Amino acid sequence: MKATFSLGCVAGIRIGVHWSVLVIVLVLALGLAGRFPDTYPGRPSWQYWITGLLGAVVFLLSLLAHELSHALVARRNGVGADDITLWLLGGIARLRSEAPTPGAEVRIAGVGPLVSLSLGVLFGVLAGLFGALYGAGLAVETLTWLAGINLLLAVFNALPAAPLDGGRLLRALVWQKTGNPLRATAVATGAGRALGWVLIGVGLYLVLFGSLFSGFWLVVVGWFLIAMASAEGSRAKLRELLSGVPVRQAMGSDPVTVPASLTVARFLTAPEYRYRHSAFPVVDAEHHPVGLVNVKTAAGVPEVERDSPVTSVMIPIENIPTPHPDDPLVGVLPALDSSPAHRALAVENGRVAGTVTSSDISRITSWLASSSWRSRTF
């Protein structure tokens, strides 16, 4: 899920918003504004709309707090976090790797529902205080709604089914009991698919009996759970297939590098860079990697600015995975997905030994799958 626009950074973590958030804001604002006239009639319509919109925005901030807690706790447990994207069905915190231990998995997954639960209690207390001080009104109604929806979010996320936080907790428990993280993932993703089908079934039942909106929403959430759980299961099978494979076996060796002092104009016209590659490692005078320059990005530089060095348009090395060639390939997968370059630079003795792309992963995966099939057949 890619962000449509950025809201900046919080604690060094990029916060993005997908365009579908506008849909959920509108739906929530409509729902709140529509219920206010029945409870508090006689107010100007703009008050209903402004209060409804504010309630929807605060709920999105609650979702952001939920996801931000995952990212911050992940960092404390040695798992890097790049960004958070808010979208139609909530938020996604993108982590660079898997949790290293079952205990870390529990801490990373468990903090989200705890934050939502705490927010639910906080909004409930505020609703009580406002009600006691000022009496019932739109503010108290909105705070009560925020308390309820955050408590519901905490309970729903605690369900033991991947990709929900409860699914992560289930995975940690099975991992702790069996010592097998892949087996634990299979159990959690199986529970996620089962819950998804249950929600779809309940949603279709509600649609048939006239509750169109609630039923449709449950079907969408159920489909999302099935899709995400299936994708997570596929990633687990991929990790199992690549278990024991070093980066060296998949990487493209001795890549062509670009000197950091080279201008963008020279990079785009020099015959030595007219390869089928879409990006090249950038190295300094000592041949140490400093980044990665994308051909398409460089080509987008206006003609009058192409005398600047390629370092002005490269992706810094800090944002690129740099495994050693003998590191496990499976450990590179999450970082490869989260990297803006979508590739890794294998670094040995301070120099670029090779590059790893998604195509390289697909190639080695196909070879391993074919070898496994032949060994079973013969």
Instruction: Look up the CATH number of the domain holding residue 334.
Output: 3.10.580.10
Measured in whole angstroms, the distance separating CA 188 from the mean position of its chain's CA atoms is 18
Asked, for residue 256, whether it belongs to a domain, the answer is yes
Please provide the average confidence, as pLDDT, over all residues in the chain. 89
Q: Is the pLDDT of residue 1 over 70?
A: no
Which of these three, 241, 256, 271, is where a domain ends? 241
Mean pLDDT of 235-261: 89
Mean pLDDT of 163-185: 93
Residues 124 and 203 in one domain: no
At residue 118 the predicted structure's pLDDT band, cuts being 50, 70 and 90, is very high
Residues 77 and 133 in one domain: yes
- Which of 118-122, 182-186, 340-344 tops mean pLDDT? 118-122
| Dihedral sign for Cα atoms in the order 206, 210, 214, 217 | positive
Q: Is 159 helix (H, G, I), strand (E, B) or coil?
A: coil
Residues 200 and 327 in one domain: no
Residues 334 and 291 in one domain: yes
Asked, for residue 258, whether it belongs to a domain, the answer is yes
Q: Is the pLDDT of residue 195 over 60?
A: yes
The rounded distance, in Å, linking the Cα atoms of 77 and 70 is: 11
At residue 174 the predicted structure's pLDDT band, cuts being 50, 70 and 90, is very high
Mean pLDDT of 47-76: 93
CB atoms within 10 A of CB 270: 12
Q: Is 90 helix (H, G, I), strand (E, B) or coil?
A: strand
Residues 10 and 154 in one domain: yes
CB burial of residue 370 (10 Å; 0-12, 13-18, 19+): exposed
- pLDDT the model gives residue 297: 93
Alpha helices of the chain — where are they, by DSSP H?
A: 21-39, 45-76, 102-134, 138-157, 165-178, 181-208, 212-241, 247-250, 264-269, 295-299, 333-338, 358-377
More confident residue, 182 or 54: 54
CB burial of residue 154 (10 Å; 0-12, 13-18, 19+): buried
CB atoms within 10 A of CB 234: 11
Asked, for residue 163, whether it belongs to a domain, the answer is no
Q: Is the pLDDT of residue 216 over 70?
A: yes
Asked, for residue 9, whether it belongs to a domain, the answer is yes
Residues 117 and 27 in one domain: yes
For residue 281, give both structure tokens. Answer: 């490692």
CA distances from 91 to 42, 48, 53, 58, 256 (A): 37, 27, 19, 14, 39
Which of these three, 110, 130, 158, is where a domain ends? 158
Asked, for residue 308, whether it belongs to a domain, the answer is yes
Residues 192 and 309 in one domain: no
- Which of 73-82, 112-121, 208-217 tops mean pLDDT? 112-121
Asked, for residue 170, whether it belongs to a domain, the answer is no
Which residues on neighbouring strands pair with residue 90, listed in sequence order?
87
The rounded distance, in Å, linking the Cα atoms of 378 and 111 is: 49
Residues 263 and 234 in one domain: no
Residues 368 and 299 in one domain: yes
Residues 15 and 154 in one domain: yes
**What is the tens place of the pLDDT at every residue in 301-325?**
999 999 999 999 999 998 899 999 9
% of residues, the chain, pLDDT over 90: 58
Block residue for tokens 């231990």: 101
Domain that holds residue 207: 177-241
- The set of catalytic residues is 67
The rounded distance, in Å, linking the Cα atoms of 202 and 196 is: 10
* The total number of structural domains that make up the chain: 3
Which of these three, 192, 207, 241, is where a domain ends? 241
Asked, for residue 168, whether it belongs to a domain, the answer is no
Residues 146 and 74 in one domain: yes
Provide long-range contacts, Cβ within 8 A and 24+ apart, for 56-59: 56/24, 56/25, 56/26, 56/28, 56/29, 56/32, 57/25, 58/142, 58/146, 59/28, 59/146, 59/149, 59/150
One-letter amino acid at 77 equals: N
128 contacts: CB under 8 Å, gap ≥ 6: none
| Dihedral sign for Cα atoms in the order 236, 337, 344, 277 | positive
The DSSP letter of residue 254 is S
Mean pLDDT of 38-63: 90
Asked, for residue 171, whether it belongs to a domain, the answer is no
Residues 277 and 208 in one domain: no
pTM tops 0.85, yes or no = no
Q: Is the pLDDT of residue 369 over 50?
A: yes
328 contacts: CB under 8 Å, gap ≥ 6: 242, 243, 244, 245, 246, 247
